[in-house]
Structure 1
């Protein structure tokens, strides 16, 4: 089969299947790469790819490539020159896929617009400018339910602001008041100590959420950054 006719999904399936049982050559490459990276480098898996004789080297959700002797490391994306399919992106998307039903939605701020049939989860920091931009974008989108996980990674007072929102009588309004209008929530009453800050911080780290906003969709895929309304609508429309 010519490479141009191999879809990203097919390539992904081949790599996943091959990675399930590491060969002696792949094990050897893994040890060589770890030695050449030095320090505490830990390669999670090595798998031969269907293109250009390269081997995929996976470190967490990061993908590198190497040759059969591990003499060279290639950092970047493998893109089919004829179909423009991005095989690396497809692979990373698969590695970072989230089981949406496992998300602790009870620990998120819930906002419903219109019929709320379309659902997303978003990791946001109250001090994140791009998150505020995305909240303005959401004003243009109807018939959506948004679960906001307050992910405090940018400033020391992020957790304080998130706790104040969580302890508000109307969390969704308090969050929008702050993110859209700069109106700070009232200080949390002394008796409010059940905010999920630590739980969400641990969740984000487990899911390798490295920046805010990060949008997670019901199919488990994610988009980092403040996408515009057209991009968001397009993604939502593509979901079953």
Structure 2
């Protein structure tokens, strides 16, 4: 699993916040492309003449001051011979902020009494590695990690997996329903107003392409399954 940066450029989440020119020129250039995208902020990047354009999803592109050139990719700082990915750090912070604002009542949460930190996991009940990871939720809780599940049915928001996940979110006991579904057991079908389609769209906007997609509290992505002890160590180091 990896993030598709090209996909992440084309979406809108909120009203733009702009600074004075050259931000106006950059916005005008983007407007001419008729892209369905809104901008959270435009600011100077650490590289002279290059401006950072940040979306509400956390994704970043760069633009020249006159808006005639756009750059999609990572900006690295190599000061003192050390390689630091500035783009990844800025994106992770914004993604973490966005995920940490998700309403708790819209997620299926497994939490210890006194969590030290948390992970947000885009999951699919039909995913083998998601099932393996879920079998270690008790261990993660024992290590102080709260597990927050969001829905990402890989077959799409109208597939069979999505129907099952909607039943989980609508169940009287979503935690129990989640566990039963990930054991491969049939759960009682239920319907209600639920966030499954919205969470799937959020995952797409973040560039999620596979499950489990695990985001640490600071927005850092852990690609794919990791054993509980390894994941807990990473989660505690990236709060």
- Please tell me the TM-score bracket, short chain as reference: 0.5 to 0.7
Aligned length in residues: 211
Residue 151 (structure 2) aligns with: 150
Does structure 2 conserve the Cα–Cα contact (< 8 Å) formed by 1:130 and 1:225?
Answer: no
Structure 2 unaligned segments of length 5 or more: list them: 1-15
C-alpha RMSD over aligned residues: 3.6
Counterparts of 1:199-218 in structure 2 under 5 Å? 199-203=195-199, 205=201, 208-211=205-208, 212-217=211-216
Does structure 2 conserve the Cα–Cα contact (< 8 Å) formed by 1:165 and 1:185?
Answer: no
| Distance in 2, Cα, partners of 1:43 & 1:146 | 31
Bigger relative contact order, structure 1 or 2 (CA pairs below 8 A, ≥6 apart): 2
1:48 aligns with 2:44: yes
Structure 1 unaligned segments of length 5 or more: list them: 1-18
Q: 2:65 aligns with which of 64, 68, 75?
A: 68
Query: TM-score under structure 1 normalisation?
Result: 0.67
| Distance in 1, Cα, partners of 2:175 & 2:28 | 50
What SS class does the counterpart of residue 23 from structure 1 fall into? Answer: coil
Residue 172 (structure 1) aligns with: 175
| Distance in 2, Cα, partners of 1:58 & 1:110 | 30
| Distance in 2, Cα, partners of 1:57 & 1:166 | 35
- Cα drift, residue 236 of structure 1: 2.5
- Cα drift, residue 87 of structure 1: 0.6
Query: TM-score under structure 2 normalisation?
Result: 0.67
Higher Rg of the two aligned structures = 1
Does structure 2 conserve the Cα–Cα contact (< 8 Å) formed by 1:123 and 1:150?
Answer: yes
Does structure 2 conserve the Cα–Cα contact (< 8 Å) formed by 1:34 and 1:43?
Answer: no
Counterparts of 1:210-229 in structure 2 under 5 Å? 210-211=207-208, 212-217=211-216, 219=217, 221-223=219-221, 225-229=223-227
| Distance in 2, Cα, partners of 1:33 & 1:24 | 14
| Distance in 2, Cα, partners of 1:66 & 1:168 | 47
Does structure 2 conserve the Cα–Cα contact (< 8 Å) formed by 1:34 and 1:41?
Answer: no
Does structure 1 conserve the Cα–Cα contact (< 8 Å) formed by 2:110 and 2:137?
Answer: no
